[in-house]
Amino acid sequence: MALEQYNRKRHFDQTPEPAGKVERGNRQRFVVQKHRASHLHYDFRLEMDGVLKSWAVPKGPSLDPANKRLAMQVEDHPVSYFHFEGNIPEGNYGAGNVMVWDTGTWEPLGNPSEMLEKGDLKFQLNGEKLKGEFVLARMRSRRPGSKGTEWLLIKKKDHSVQPGYDIDKFDYSVLTGRSLDEIAGDEGSAEWQSNRKAATRKGAEWLSETLAKTKKTAAAKAKPVKKSSTAGRKAAGKKKDQQPGELDKTKATAIEGAYRSAMPSVIHPMLATLVDGPFNDDQWLYEIKWDGYRAVTFLKKSDARMVSRNQNELTEEFPEIARALEKLKVESAILDGEVVALDEHGHSSFSLMQQRTGMTNPGKFRSRDTSVPIVYYIFDLLYLNGYNLMRVPLEQRKEMLRHIVPSGTGLLRYSDHHLAQGTALFEVARESGLEGIVGKLRSGLYLQKRSREWLKIKITRRQECVIAGYTDPRGSREHFGSLILGLYDKQGKLVHVGQAGSGFNQTSHATMWKKLQKLRRNENPFGRKIETSRRPNWVKLELVAEIKFSEWTHEGESGEIKMRAPIFQGLRLDKKPRECVFEFPKPTEHAVREAEEESSAA
């Protein structure tokens, strides 16, 4: 099938799809695109003879040999269609939403042209999701009117077989990590992850309006809350009489637990414990979990200094935030919060934060994109006007904070909370496309360590990993194939947890390559051989990557734990490699009970 048929079906002044032309050469790549048009299906495409040979697979490919998938051969597509992801407008051929479900390279197991002509095309896939040997076999249909376009896509039995394969578990783009619904909400854009649009004024206001409505929505969805222990209620009742709102707005002298002291010069931020699900409890308050850079601010005599959780200076990274902080009407304060970049929907976007801090731009000097709007969500107050507040119950610290941080949609924002109804807020966060929520014990003190008195419940799985090396590229891919990732175990040993090759665009891929080349080393940091499909190369353990993945799996005879379908999200400026440790969710009920018992005993 020539590209004339592809071009004839499309009006390129009305669709974002690329116009078709035959390319020179053959890089033997493959792509699977999930396509929601009149019917949901998957488009399986192999790069051959300068075009993409294409089949529509209604149920999608499978790694289970028992699942023989019908594959209808359709018109050839141009090679430039390889990375197309976005929305085809109504009124156009194939109108609907397109996701790049998987990409990689393929190797024919024989002469590809002869096998295709014969109707028995055998090949091996080396993708992010699909691996191993497959066959496309043309059906010998005797059905009247058959055009001879019916094929079967079958997985061969090999090491990559997965019995009972469930394609719905891998419903995300290997380019951007988005779902098909998220792509559908992008109003026709077909962009890479790190090219996502920054927030417009309308987008930023949308988020504020959404959060303002959350209490009402949460109340409508709420289930009966779990009552705390008697000891927990007594402890909270004892402190309930103290009403900081009745005091002078910025005085801490009458608050139980506050004490006069010099301003601390170093704060180790309180960290939350990961748990496996949301919960309702009347002794807890719940906040949105923001996806950005944790920042502690030291404010003294109208001079603001911002530092990361590992004491790196952030003031010059976010000068507009620092200037806004210096206008707060306090003599001295220590604030804790998160700096986030907002996309056009008002969602916090880590990829946009990379763009804002210049981590996606190549070159010796980082080029910050100051057009990306950022805000500082402040959720805690640790020190105020000569008084240390870390021994003051959380709810009272937040009440004082509310008087200090201006209301509205400016650069500084009070991170509001919602009482008791954690499950309802979690569902609202999920529907709004946010990262998750954090539950905090209302009577809890500020502890400079990881604590069960703060519990984080994630909607998407993420993990900070050490970049230990990279693999050689395959086929036509430049620079490198995948990042080799590691985590430290309880004994301080670096453990291999997988490889991430998706999540990059051309710019971020080139940027990462330059960083890796400066850190090359010969020694394997894992101390033993690891399994990779391509030759590994090692680097100094200096870079930390944020990785999105679908689940933890146990692989091989040794049962080594690995991240399934890891996707690179960006580099972390605020984390040290040694902080990258395994983080598995703890049972929610146990963590809640332990936190309340510890607080009651304190």
- Under 8 Å between Cβ of 401 and 414: yes
Please, what sign has the CA dihedral across residues 512, 516, 519, 524?
positive
d(CA 225, CA 230): 15
- Under 8 Å between Cβ of 37 and 95: yes
d(CA 4, CA 600): 75
d(CA 155, CA 135): 7
In 314-335, which positions are buried (b, 16+ CB within 10 angstroms) versus exposed (e)? bbebbeebbebbeebebebbbb
In terms of Cα–Cα distance, which of 54, 48, 4 is closest to 29? 48
Please, what sign has the CA dihedral across residues 385, 389, 392, 395?
positive
In terms of Cα–Cα distance, which of 278, 288, 283 is closest to 222? 278
Strands 51-57 and 69-78: antiparallel
Strands 412-414 and 374-384: parallel
Strands 494-500 and 520-521: unpaired
User: 1 to each of 53, 74, 95, 134, how far by Cα in Å?
Assistant: 8, 8, 22, 22
Q: Which residues are part of the catalytic machinery? A: 289
Residue 132 token pair: 């191993």
> Collapsing DSSP states into helix, strand and coil, what is residue 32?
strand
Residue 270 token pair: 């309180």
- Under 8 Å between Cβ of 76 and 69: no
Tokens 């304190």 found at: 602
Residue 206 token pair: 């949308």
